[in-house]
């Protein structure tokens, strides 16, 4: 089975031209081509596409395996990176210099690739070790072996900050909370680790134990040592419930924690279930949602928009613009409010921006994170990989998102518990 993800739900309409790359998914001897375009990050505020197959290696046979791997990685970036100046560098010279060097082992080659990629000064274009690639792939599909937490994409000087904790997961049951800072993993300090590296070390085989040293700031500084047993998890990206507004109206509450391949179907099922329970208006909570699978953000937007509505524009390195449009009737036309905060990112911003610009929802909260770029994830021939920024996106009104964010209609900090209904305007 080759690695690959295709868009789920109804097809996306792209007028005039369809510029999404085709990929083959092989299963049981059957080849099928499906359009795909994916978005963010992993559990780390990164929109991603999983690219099918490694890049074919045509480098001279005289090179060592390590030099060939470096040339292969350089070529992946060269083929798709959005900034064709490569951060105003002589990109080919960088390749020649790196390939000429001798490397004693694979780890030295990995370090060389990291150095090449870091020269782009793009936090979302990054090298992934084999473990990190496997971790990102499992996060995108929703299947994972770990303890059920997400790390804040930026990290902190003190360590790795917890963004979300999966309810009823091992981390939750052991008392880990959002905003906790993990300062050690199995006795090793985390200050030099990226969130990707930290996530890879926390995950592992079901039944094994990971020891986290955690700092928590409440009334006083606490330091906790937590021994947590890993489990096979199916990340639940959507939860639902019915709340009662101050006007005694039933409000359908949908919390989207992240976006993966099943999110659109889960949100649709939630809306239909809440409608049966008498919901007359809906709240979509995107707070602390780091994004994930880009098409899922587009597909969820379609559930609220009429057919033919623009969801987003995607612009690639050649300046070619694709318009993503809803191709299905809305599941609901009832009033909608969307809760956002500073950690609402990537695919979450696609959804929030689409609903705001189409005057379909009122946005309440704080300005969002501001991640408006899309990455592909390409496996390399040795099982490692590269996440490469290949496009940016804009809202339906052509507003930039990257490093800008989505601004709320109502600036207000709402409680995380069910009293958030006090924040809602009358009738939205």
**Nearest one of 205, 204, 201 to 213, comparing CA atoms:** 201
In angstroms, what is the C-alpha Rg of the chain? Answer: 22
Residue 203: both structure tokens together: 């995950």
Contact predicate 379/385, CB 8 Å: yes
Residue 411: both structure tokens together: 């600036």
Please name every residue paired with 324 in a beta bridge, in sequence order, or none if there are none. 312
Residue ranges of the alpha helices (H) in 258-403? 263-276, 294-302, 347-357
Q: Which residues are catalytic?
A: 346, 357, 371
**Nearest one of 256, 258, 252, 257 to 283, comparing CA atoms:** 252
**Nearest one of 266, 428, 395, 247 to 331, comparing CA atoms:** 266
How many helices and strands, by DSSP H and E, does the chain display?
9, 22
Residue in the block written with tokens 């040339």 = 71
**Nearest one of 307, 347, 349, 303 to 326, comparing CA atoms:** 307
- Rounded CA separation 327/333 (Å): 16
Q: Provide the greatest CA pair distance for the chain.
A: 76
């Amino acid at each position: 089975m080759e690695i690959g993800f295709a868009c789920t739900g109804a097809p996306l309409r792209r007028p005039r031209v369809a510029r999404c790359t085709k990929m083959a998914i092989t299963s049981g001897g059957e080849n099928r081509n499906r359009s795909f375009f994916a978005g963010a990050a992993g559990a780390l505020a990164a929109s991603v596409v999983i690219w099918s197959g490694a890049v074919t290696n045509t480098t001279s046979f005289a090179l060592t395996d390590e030099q060939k791997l470096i040339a292969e990685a350089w070529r992946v970036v060269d083929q798709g990176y959005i900034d064709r100046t490569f951060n105003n560098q002589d990109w080919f010279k960088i390749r020649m210099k790196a390939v000429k060097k001798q490397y004693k082992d694979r780890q030295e080659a990995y370090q060389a690739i990291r150095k090449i990629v870091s020269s782009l000064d793009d936090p979302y274009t990054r090298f992934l070790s084999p473990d990190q690639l496997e971790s990102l792939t499992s996060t995108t599909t929703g299947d994972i072996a770990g303890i059920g937490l997400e790390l804040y994409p930026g990290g902190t000087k003190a360590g790795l900050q917890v963004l979300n904790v999966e309810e009823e997961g091992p981390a939750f049951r052991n008392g880990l909370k959002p905003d906790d800072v993990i300062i050690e993993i199995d006795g090793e300090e985390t200050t030099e680790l990226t969130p990707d590296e930290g996530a890879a070390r926390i995950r592992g085989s079901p039944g094994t134990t990971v020891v986290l040293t955690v700092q928590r700031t409440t009334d006083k500084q606490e330091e906790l040592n937590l021994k947590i047993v890993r489990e096979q998890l199916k990340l639940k990206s959507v939860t639902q419930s019915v709340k009662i507004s101050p006007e005694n109206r039933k409000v359908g509450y949908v919390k989207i924690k992240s976006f993966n391949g099943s999110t659109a179907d889960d949100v649709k099922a939630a809306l239909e279930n809440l409608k049966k329970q008498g919901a007359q208006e809906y709240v979509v909570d995107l707070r602390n949602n780091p994004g994930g699978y880009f098409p899922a953000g587009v597909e969820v937007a379609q559930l609220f928009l009429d057919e033919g509505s623009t969801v987003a524009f995607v612009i690639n390195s050649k300046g070619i613009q694709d318009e993503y449009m809803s191709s299905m009737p809305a599941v609901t036309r009832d009033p909608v409010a969307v809760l956002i905060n500073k950690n609402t990112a990537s695919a979450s911003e696609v959804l929030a921006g689409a609903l705001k610009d189409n005057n379909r929802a009122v946005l309440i909260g704080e300005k969002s994170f501001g991640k408006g770029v899309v990455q592909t994830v390409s496996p390399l021939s040795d099982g490692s990989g590269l996440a490469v920024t290949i496009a940016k996106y804009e809202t339906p009104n052509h507003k930039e998102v990257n490093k800008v964010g989505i601004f709320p209609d109502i600036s207000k900090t709402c409680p995380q518990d069910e009293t958030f209904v006090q924040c809602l305007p009358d009738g939205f």
